[in-house]
Amino acid sequence: MPIVRNVSRAVSQLLQSSGCGCGISIVPVRCIGISPRQVASDASFHSVSFSESDHPRVLITGGLGQLGVGLAKLLRKRFGKNNVILSDIRKPADNVFYSGPFIYSDILDYKNLREIVVNNRITWLFHYSALLSAVGEANVPLARAVNITGLHNVLDIAAEHNLRLFVPSTIGAFGPTSPRDPTPDLCIQRPRTIYGVSKVHAELMGEVRTCFVFFHWCFGRISLYYHYRYGLDFRCLRYPGIISADSQPGGGTTDYAVQIFHDAIKTGKFECNLKPDTRLPMMYIDDCLKATLEVMEAPAEALSMRTYNISAMSFTPEELAQEVQKHVPELQVTYNVDAVRQAIADSWPMNFDDSNARRDWGWKHDYDLPELVSTMFSFLGSDSRIAQAN
C-alpha cells in the first residue's frame, strides 16, 4: 500500500526532526489496544452506516447519571423506543424503567458487556459511566477502575464489533498550564485530577485506535483515510458544565449551578462552594444532548478531528445568582469556598473555543444565560407547585 508507506515515512521524518531532538520510532502496525484482550489483526474495522429505514441499535452505559436518561429519551424519539437500551448498575426509578428497555450492565464486567452488545446487535455505544471530578478525588482507586479500566473494556468491545463509539470528555481534561481564555481544541492539557487524567486518556486512546501512529494536527483530513480503512469510529465532545432540571447534583465542581435553583425554590438560601468570580463554561442539557446526537450523525468526512470542544455560555456564580434573583428576588447567597473544588475550578478553562465544531458539523447552541434560568424555573417551579399541592 504505497499511500500507507508514504504517510508513515512522512510521520517518521516529521517526528524525528522535532524541536526537542528526540527521535521517535514509527512502526506501521495497527494499534488496537494495550489490554490483554487483543482483537485479531485481520479484523475488519469499517464504520456502520445506516439508511433512513435502518436505525442504529444503541446502548447507553452509566445511563442513570445526569445525561443518560435525557439522551435515551431523545434517541428513542428519533430511532424508536426499542432501539435504545439504557443500562446501569443501579435500580432505575419506575418512570425510567417503563419508558423503554433497561438492563443491568457493569462496565468492569467485560464478559457481561460483550454479551449485551452481541445479544442486542448493538451498533452505537454511548459510554457515560464515570466518577466525576470531586467524587473521583475522594476515591481515586475506584475512579481509576471505573474511568480507565471500564473505558478499556468499552474500547475493546467497540473495536471488535465495529461500533460507532461516543465517549464524553470535559473541561476537566485541561489543567493549569492550558490556555484558559479561550481554550482551543488542541493545546497543552495536563489535568490535575484523576477525572481529568482519565478523560485525556480516553481522548488519546480513541484517537490512537486508527491503525497507524499519527497526529491529526500534522495531516489534517488525510487521517480520515486511516479512520475509514482501519479505525474505530470514535467520537468525543468536551462538555462544559451541564445544567439540568431532571437530575440532582452528582458531585461535580460545576454542580453549584444546578444546586442554586433547587435551593432558591426550597429554602430561598444558597451557599456556594466556589468564589463569586470563578468563571467557567456552561451549557443547558438540551444543547448538550443536541450536540451529542449531531456529532454522532455527522458524516465522518466532515470531521477534521475526533475530539471537539463545545460551548454555549460562560458565567460566574455571582452572575448566575444575579440572574436567578430576577426570578427569586428574596434569594440570599453566601459563599463558603471548598478548597478542593476551587483548586479544580481554577485549573479549568474560563471559555471554550468551539469554532471547529461550528465549522465542521454546524454546531450552534440555543440557550444563553437568561433562557437557561427561565427554563430551569419553568421546570422546577412547576414540579414544586405539584409537590406542594400533593
Q: In the block, which residue shows the cell 432540571?
A: 245
Question: What residues are labeled active site?
Answer: 195
Count other C-beta atoms under 10 Å from residue 310's C-beta: 24
User: Could you give the count of Cα atoms lying within 13 Å of 345 in the half-sphere of its Cβ?
Assistant: 26
Rounded-to-10 torsion of CA 4, 203, 290, 239: -150
Q: Which amino acid is at 77?
A: K
Q: Which three cell numbers stand for residue 201?
A: 486518556
Give the three cell numbers for residue 68: 443518560
Amino acid identity for residue 16 in this structure: Q
How far apart, in whole angstroms, are the C-alpha atoms of residue 298 and residue 207? 17
* CB-facing half-sphere around the CA of 366: CA atoms within 13 A: 9
